[in-house]
Amino acid sequence: MDEMCQYISNLKLADVPVTQFPRKTGFLGFLISVTSLRQYYSKFVEKSQLEGKEVDSEQLNFILY
């Protein structure tokens, strides 16, 4: 995912990064969503695994639907 985000961040149209282009909403939205999902995963899944607990599927249901 890091490579994907880096790729999108480095994309340019007419020497202007797409994240600074007038039509940047979709690119920024995608990057924000990926970042949010990664933080959620880290907070709930990785933390549970480090503590030796089973992941609570109720916490993850809203992502899957």
Q: Mean per-residue pLDDT for 56-60?
A: 68
Phi then psi dihedrals of residue 54, to 5 deg? -80, 145
Q: Which helix (H) or strand (E) holds 16?
A: strand 16-17
Could you give the number of structural domains in the chain? 1
Domain assignment of residue 14, given as a range: 2-64
**Using 50, 70 and 90 to split pLDDT, how confident is the model at 27?**
very high
The SS3 call for residue 15 is: coil
| pTM over 0.95, yes/no | no
Distance CA 31, CA 5 (A): 6
Q: Which residue has the higher pLDDT, 37 or 27?
A: 27
Q: What DSSP state is assigned to residue 53?
A: P
Band of pLDDT at residue 53, cut at 50, 70 and 90: confident
What is the distance in angstroms between the CA of the first residue and the CA of the last residue of the chain?
A: 21
Q: What is the mean pLDDT of residues 4-8?
A: 90
Q: Is 8's pLDDT higher than 60?
A: yes
Question: CA 3, CA 26: separation in Å to the nearest integer?
Answer: 18
